[in-house]
C-alpha cells in the first residue's frame, strides 16, 4: 500500500468575516511517489487547500496530517514543516524577498540556519535547475514575469523539500517555459521529491498526473485515477472543467475502431502507438553532462532523422555549444513520435534522467510493440 504523506480529514475553513466556508468537509490523501494534481475551476478552493497543507492556514474544523501525524501549529513545528513541505504560489511576487536573484534563492536555506557553504551550494544548484544562474546578480525587480516565476521555484528548491506543492505552475508562462517547468517537475519527482500541482488546465494535468483530486465550490467531488472522473461527463462539466483533448481523441478513435478505450494514453506518442501499426524506428539515448564529446554528437547526428533533448543540464549544454537540435522542448515525446512512424531519433538527456527515460520507454509497451532503443555511455 502506498504511504500517505499528506492528509486532510473533514477540513472546514472560513476566511475572516466570511459566513460561507472556502473549504467544506474536504478529506483527501496525497500519497508518496504518486504525481498528484488538484483540479478545479477558479475559486474552487485549490489555493486555500494548499495553505492548509503547509500550515499557513489552520482549519476551522477538521485536521491535517503530515506523515500520519496531526499537524502542530507551534512556531518551531511549523518552521520544520515548511522546510519539508514547500509551496510555490501562483503569483511569484508573493514570495520573492531577496533584492538580487542569488539573495532570494539563498533566503530559505539561510532561515533554516544552514552553514554558508551549504546555502551557497543549494542556491547555485536551484538557480541552475531553473536556468537563472547566469542572472544571479541581477536585481529581482528587473526580471520578467516568467523569470520571477522561475525564481520563486528556485527559492523553494533550495530548501530541499520532501514535498513540493506548485500552485498553477505554468500560469503566465510561454509554452516553451511551461514545458520546461513540467519536465523539471517530472525529473524532481523521479529523484524522490513528491510533487503536487494545482491547475484548471486539464490537458496539462492529464499528461502529467497519476491521481487527481477535484474541488468544486470548496468541496471535494472526486479522488482517484483520472479516467474515472473524465468518464463521467456530467461530473466533469459540473466541476467547471472539460474532458482533456487526449481523452476525447482516444474515446473517439476507439469507438470508430470498435476497440476498448483502455489502456488510456496520456501523451501523443502513447496515442500514436495505440492507434497506428507499422515499422518502428530506433531510439538512441545519450547521457550528456556539461562537457561532452562534440565529435560524438555530430557523428550520431548524421545517423538519425531527428534529435531531441531532455533535462535542464542538457538544454544549457546544447545551447552553449550550438549543437543542432530539432526538439529543444518536449524532447522525449517528440523523438518517440518520430520513432513510431519509422524514423530513428537521438535523445540527448541529463545523466540522472536515464532511469526516467527507461521508465517512459517501458510504459510505451502498454500501447503497442516494445520500442527498440540503445543507451550509450557518456
Q: Where in the chain is the domain with CATH 3.40.1010.10?
A: 273-375
The residues, any chain, with a CB within 8 Å of residue 119's CB and separated by 6 or more, are 106, 109, 110
pLDDT of 231 > 90? The answer is yes
Question: How does pLDDT run across 193-221, given as a tens digit for each residue?
Answer: 999 999 889 999 999 999 999 999 999 99
Each residue of 96-108: pLDDT tens digit?
Answer: 988 999 999 999 9
DSSP string, 240-272: T----HHHHHHHHHHHHHT----S---SHHHHH
> Which residue has cell 562537457?
291
CA–CA separation, 213 vs 229, rounded Å? 9
Work out whether the CA dihedral 303, 304, 307, 309 comes out positive or negative.
Answer: negative
* Beta-carbon contacts of residue 252 (< 8 Å; ≥ 6 apart): none
Whether a cis peptide bond, with omega within 30° of 0, leads into 263 is: yes
The pLDDT of residue 291: 66
| 334/163 Cα distance (integer angstroms) | 29
Q: pLDDT exceeding 90 applies to what percent of the chain?
A: 68
pLDDT mean over 5-27: 94
Question: What mean pLDDT is predicted for residues 172-185?
Answer: 85
Percent of the chain residues topping a pLDDT of 70: 98
**Is 205 within 8 Å of 195 (Cβ atoms)?**
no
Hey, what CATH class is 273-375 in? Answer: alpha beta
The yes-or-no verdict on residue 146 having pLDDT over 90 is no
215-225 pLDDT tens trace: 999 999 999 99
Q: How confident is the model at residue 73 (pLDDT cuts 50, 70, 90)?
A: very high
DSSP for 34-64 reads --EEEE--TTSSHHHHHHHHTTSS--SEEEE
Q: CATH homologous superfamily for 4-238?
A: P-loop containing nucleotide triphosphate hydrolases (3.40.50.300)
What's the pLDDT band for 226 if we cut at 50, 70, 90?
very high
Q: Which residues pair with 306 in a beta bridge?
A: 345
Mean pLDDT within 333-356: 94
109-117, Cβ contacts within 8 angstroms, sequence gap of 24 or more: 109/158, 109/159, 109/160, 112/83, 112/159
Instruction: Tell which wins on pLDDT, 177 or 187.
Output: 187
Q: What is the model's pLDDT at position 245?
A: 95
pLDDT band at 1 (very low <50, low <70, confident <90, very high): low
Residues of the chain with CATH 3.40.50.300: 4-238
User: What's the pLDDT at 378?
Assistant: 57
Angle at 120 between CA 51 and CA 100, to 5 degrees: 70
- Are 283 and 335 in contact by the 8 Å Cβ rule? The answer is yes
pLDDT averaged over the chain?
Answer: 91
The b/e string for 280-298 (b: 16+ C-beta within 10 A; e otherwise) is: bbbbbbbbbeeebeeeebe
pLDDT of residue 184: 87
Amino acid at each position: 500500500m502506498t504511504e500517505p504523506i499528506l492528509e486532510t480529514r473533514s477540513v472546514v475553513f472560513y476566511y475572516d468575516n466570511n459566513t460561507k466556508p472556502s473549504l467544506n468537509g474536504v478529506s483527501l490523501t496525497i500519497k508518496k511517489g504518486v504525481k498528484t494534481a488538484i483540479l478545479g475551476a477558479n475559486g474552487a478552493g485549490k489555493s486555500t487547500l494548499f495553505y492548509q497543507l503547509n500550515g499557513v492556514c489552520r482549519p476551522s474544523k477538521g485536521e491535517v496530517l503530515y506523515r500520519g501525524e496531526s499537524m502542530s501549529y507551534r512556531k518551531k513545528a511549523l518552521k520544520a514543516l515548511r522546510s519539508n513541505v514547500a509551496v510555490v504560489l501562483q503569483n511569484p511576487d508573493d514570495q520573492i524577498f531577496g533584492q538580487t536573484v542569488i539573495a532570494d534563492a539563498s533566503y530559505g536555506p539561510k532561515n533554516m540556519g544552514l552553514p554558508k557553504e551549504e546555502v551557497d551550494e543549494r542556491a547555485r544548484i536551484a538557480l541552475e535547475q531553473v536556468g537563472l544562474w547566469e542572472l544571479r546578480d541581477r536585481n529581482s525587480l528587473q526580471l520578467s514575469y516568467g523569470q520571477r516565476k522561475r525564481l520563486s521555484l528556485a527559492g523553494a528548491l533550495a530548501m530541499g523539500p520532501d514535498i513540493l506543492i506548485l500552485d498553477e505552475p505554468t500560469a503566465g508562462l510561454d509554452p516553451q517555459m511551461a514545458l520546461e517547468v513540467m519536465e523539471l517537475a517530472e525529473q524532481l519527482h523521479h529523484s524522490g521529491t513528491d510533487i503536487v500541482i494545482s491547475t484548471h488546465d486539464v490537458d496539462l494535468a492529464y499528461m502529467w498526473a497519476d491521481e487527481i483530486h477535484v474541488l468544486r465550490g470548496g468541496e471535494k467531488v472526486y479522488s482517484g485515477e483520472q479516467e474515472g472522473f473524465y468518464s463521467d461527463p456530467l461530473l466533469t462539466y459540473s466541476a467547471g472543467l472539460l474532458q482533456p483533448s487526449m481523452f476525447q481523441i482516444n474515446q473517439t478513435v476507439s469507438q470508430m475502431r470498435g476497440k476498448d478505450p483502455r489502456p488510456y494514453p496520456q501523451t501523443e506518442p502513447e496515442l500514436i502507438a495505440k492507434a497506428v501499426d507499422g515499422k518502428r524506428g530506433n531510439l538512441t539515448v545519450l547521457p550528456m553532462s556539461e562537457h561532452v564529446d562534440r565529435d560524438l554528437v555530430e557523428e550520431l547526428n548524421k545517423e538519425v532523422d531527428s534529435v531531441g533533448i531532455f533535462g535542464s543540464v542538457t538544454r544549457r549544454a546544447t545551447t552553449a555549444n550550438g549543437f543542432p537540435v530539432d526538439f529543444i522542448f518536449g524532447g522525449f515525446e517528440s523523438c518517440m513520435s518520430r520513432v513510431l512512424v519509422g524514423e530513428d531519433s537521438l535523445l540527448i538527456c541529463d545523466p540522472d534522467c536515464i532511469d526516467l527515460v527507461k521508465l517512459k520507454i517501458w510504459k510505451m509497451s502498454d500501447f503497442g510493440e516494445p520500442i527498440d532503443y540503445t543507451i550509450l555511455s557518456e
